Chain A
Amino acid sequence: GAGVSQSPSNKVTEKGKDVELRCDPISGHTALYWYRQSLGQGLEFLIYFQGNSAPDKSGLPSDRFSAERTGGSVSTLTIQRTQQEDSAVYLCASSSRDRGNYEQYFGPGTRLTVT
C-alpha cells in the first residue's frame, strides 16, 4: 500500500515568511510524529499525535512552530516568521498502535531552506 507522503519535497522561503508542511500518514495509522533533521544533529522530536488525544508538543522549539492533525489523518506543520536556523529536513512518521508493533514508517521529508 501507499507509504507516508510529504509535500512539498523542497521549500525555499525568505526569512520572516510563514511556511506549511504537509504529511499524509499511512491509512489506518493512528500515531503521527514530526521530526526535524539538521546537519550533524540527528533527528529531533517535534510533536506527536495519537488518535483524539491531546498532542505531545514537548519538542516544539519555539511558539513559532505549531501543528495540527485534521480528522485523525493529514497533518500540517506550520512555521511562522521563519528564521535561517529553521533550515532543515522535516520528517513525518506514522505508526500503528497495535501492541507489539513498534515500527515508525517515515516519509521522504521536506527540505526547508530559509534564505
Chain B
Amino acid sequence: AQSVTQLGSHVSVSEGALVLLRCNYSSSVPPYLFWYVQYPNQGLQLLLKYTSAATLVKGINGFEAEFKKSETSFHLTKPSAHMSDAAEYFCAVSDAYSGGYQKVTFGIGTKLQVIP
C-alpha cells in the first residue's frame, strides 16, 4: 500500500525567503513521486516528478525536490519565495507496477502563504 504524509497543512513564508514543503511517503515498491500545485479555482498542475532517474528533480517556477530513499522523503524547495507562489501544493506517490495503470495517492495538501 502506498501513502503520503504532508507535514503542515499551512505554511507561511516571507517574500524572498526559502520555501520548504515537507513530504514523506510509504510504498512497497520503488515509488514514482510528484508535486502538484493548485491555484485558486483551478485544477492541479504538475510541478515536478521523480521517476527513478536523478534524485534531485527540478521543476517549473524555480521549484525542486530531492528524493531521499533513506528518509522516505521528497521535500519541495524554492530558494526565494515570490508572491505568485501562494497556492496549495500536493505531494503524490504512485505504485508504477499496478498493471500498467498509475494509481496515484495524494497528500492532504499544504497551503503556502507568502507574506510581502
Contact A102 B32 (CB under 8 A): yes
Task: Answer yes or no: B108 CB below 8 A from chain A CBs.
Answer: yes
Interface size on B, residues (CB 8 A): 25
Contacting B at CB under 8 A, from A23-79, are 31, 33, 35, 40-43, 45, 48, 50, 56
Q: Which of B20-28, B63-71, B98-106 is found at the contact surface with chain A?
A: B98-106
B interface residues (Cβ-Cβ under 8 A, vs A): 9, 32, 34, 36, 41-46, 49, 51, 90, 94, 96, 100-109
Q: Which residues of A contact B90 (CB under 8 A)?
A: 42-43
Q: Which residues of A contact B103 (CB under 8 A)?
A: 45, 48, 56
Contact A42 B109 (CB under 8 A): yes
Contact B108 A103 (CB under 8 A): no
A interface residues (Cβ-Cβ under 8 A, vs B): 4, 31, 33, 35, 40-43, 45, 48, 50, 56, 91, 93, 95, 97, 100, 102-104, 106-109
Task: Report the bound CA distance from A48 to B101 in whole Å.
Answer: 9
Contact B101 A106 (CB under 8 A): no
Contact B101 A31 (CB under 8 A): yes
Which of B43, B46, B49, B107 has a CB less than 8 Å from the CB of A42?
A: B107
